Amino acid sequence: AALLTVVGYSINDSVVIYDRIRENMRKYKKMPMDELLNKSINDTLSRTIVTGLTTILAALALAIFGGEVIRGFSYALVFGVVVGTYSSIYISAPVLLYFNLRVGKPQETPATTS
């Protein structure tokens, strides 16, 4: 159950970041891709960190005040949210830069000679 929760948080955070990238691509058409990604991550950074911290605080409360049965779930959830938040901020958007993709922009095909 903790694994599914962590996957859901990670996907949600990544979708929020990618959506902001898409919005900023429409707004700042001439901005270089690395600056656009940096701006998009900075725009969503506080939201991503607050979401992760509130989940971690709730899971730590479960670990402290919950029984022995729920303690393993809480530790797995804390670890997963930390790793998921890190990957959403520091890995998902740079992967986009690495592949040099522009979301929502059609791929250009090279002209063929006949």
Q: How do the domains of the chain map onto residue ranges?
A: 2-99
pLDDT in the model for residue 113: 61
Angle separating helix axes 68-87 and 33-65, nearest 10 degrees: 170
Amino acid at 30: K
pTM comes to 0.72
Asked if 78 and 6 touch (Cβ cutoff 8 Å), the reply is no
- pLDDT of 44-95, one tens digit each? 999 989 988 999 999 999 988 888 888 888 888 899 899 888 988 888 888 8
- pLDDT of 26-46, one tens digit each? 998 888 888 888 899 999 999
Q: What is the spatial distance between Cα 40 and Cα 19, in angstroms, rounded to a whole number?
A: 9
